[in-house]
Amino acid sequence: MAGTQHLRALQALELAVRHGSIRRAAEELAITPAAAGQRIRALEDYLGTDLLLRGRSGLHPTPALEHALPDLRSAFAALDRVSETLDFQRISEIHLVADPDWTELWLLPRLPAFREAHPYICFCINGEGDVPVRLGAPDIRISRSEDAKGDILFRDLHVAITGPDNLRRLGDWDRDFELEGLPLLHIDPDQKESCLPGWPEWVAQHGMRREGADRGVNYRHLRQALAAVRENVGFLICGLCLARQDIEAGNVVLVYPADRHLSEVAPFRMFLRNETRMTAQVRRFADWLMEQARESQEWISRTAGAKPKQE
């Protein structure tokens, strides 16, 4: 029996014992149960002894295998670590181009956890990072889009937010139109994506102000407007999920219940470059992004009926 065959047979054996099932071992190896069973039987024939017993709760090691099992498990755990390390060192760069506000407000707070779990993956995000920018298409692109070719990450809701000290100013000018006369903050129309709603759309749907919904201070980026909101400069229409970190920290508050929102026309989507979409590091990161996005979408749904903080 060749060395490679030994290794494959031992791998099938260890997985079969771990899962208590040859079928489960075969699924993990992407082979048929018959092929997995054949590998194990060939090893038993070579050693001249049975290695597995079938019980009511699945497969169990025979006494002959029981003594070797700790070393077998340790050996494959070490091989997994070596394999992962070599894989990351061979192809370790991810080039990502994304909406700058999404990057700063959603991705960067989460990225340290991914980096800790996958220290051999280096990033270039919007032209900056661990590795220099390269020419050509990025491995991953994130943008608001209705293009069905991209995978939906999440669809945000747009709500009215302000600094904690500003809630007491509601209704100072007009009890029926609580936002009348209050300073409204906007994203510069020349910088804002056309699909993003703002105060004119919010007032048209929810009222609370007679006029001047289009007037106020303009900011080039949402992250700059959020910094002003934290300082109680004014009131802003903002994506709920993008403001999440500030909301949970109490830096900003909802002006009205989150069910008084505007729906986002286009969701954030992820587009993978065909040439690299199946490489190990891109697949790991894309799967992690989808997992994080699912949690975000669930949080948006839970928060949609939440009441704003009151003084």
What span, in angstroms and rounded, lies between the C-alpha atoms of 54 and 61? 9
Residue percentage of the chain with pLDDT more than 70: 88
**Percent of the chain whose pLDDT exceeds 90:** 46
User: What's the pLDDT score for residue 268?
Assistant: 94
Tell me the pLDDT tens digit for each residue of 78-121.
876 765 555 444 458 899 999 889 999 999 999 999 999 998 89
Q: Closest by alpha carbon to 286, among 295, 298, 276, 301?
A: 276
- Long-range contacts of 237-240, Cβ-Cβ distance < 8 Å, separation of 24 or more: 237/158, 237/159, 237/160, 237/161, 237/197, 237/198, 237/199, 237/201, 237/202, 237/262, 238/158, 238/159, 238/161, 239/156, 239/157, 239/158, 239/264, 240/156, 240/157, 240/158, 240/159, 240/300, 240/303, 240/304
- Nearest to 163, CA basis, from 239, 51, 252: 252
Length of the chain: 311
More confident: 133 or 246: 246
Show the DSSP H helices in the chain as ranges.
3-19, 22-29, 33-47, 63-66, 69-90, 100-102, 108-117, 199-206, 222-230, 244-249, 280-303
Residue ranges of the chain assigned to CATH 3.40.190.10: 90-150+270-296, 157-266
DSSP state of 309: P
pLDDT digits (tens, 9 = 90+) for 210-268: 999 999 999 988 999 999 999 999 999 999 999 999 999 999 999 999 989 998 888 99
pLDDT at 96: 93
Which pLDDT does position 171 carry in this prediction?
A: 72
**Quick one: which of 160, 180, 156, 304 has its CA closest to 241?**
156
How confident is the model over 161-204, as pLDDT tens digits?
Answer: 999 999 988 877 777 889 999 999 999 876 566 668 999 999 99
Return the CATH architecture of domain 90-150+270-296.
3-Layer(aba) Sandwich (3.40)
The residues, ordered by sequence, that sit 6+ positions from 304 with a Cβ below 8 Å of its Cβ are 157, 240, 258, 259, 261
Q: Reduced to 3 states, what is the DSSP secondary structure of residue 218? A: strand
Of 8-12, 69-73, 78-82, the range with the lowest mean pLDDT is: 78-82
pLDDT of residue 113: 96
The vertex-181 CA angle with 175 and 182, nearest 5°, equals 95
Average pLDDT over the chain reads: 86
State the pLDDT at residue 307: 45
- Provide the pLDDT for residue 89: 47
- Mean pLDDT over 140-153 rounds to 90
Contacts of 19 (CB under 8 A, 6+ apart): 25, 28, 58
Domain 3-84: CATH class, spelled out: mainly alpha
pLDDT of 20 > 90? The answer is no
Q: Given this structure, which CATH class describes domain 157-266?
A: alpha beta
The owner of tokens 């407000």 is 105
| CB within 8 Å of 188: residues ≥ 6 apart | 218, 219, 220
Average confidence (pLDDT) over 291-298:
97
Residue 262: beta bridge partners? 158
Report pLDDT for 201. Answer: 94
Query: What per-residue confidence (pLDDT) applies to 27?
Result: 60
Q: Indicate where the chain has its CATH 1.10.10.10 domain(s).
A: 3-84
- What's the pLDDT at 116? 94
pLDDT at 309 over 50: no
Residue 114: its pLDDT value, please? Answer: 96
d(CA 95, CA 89): 16
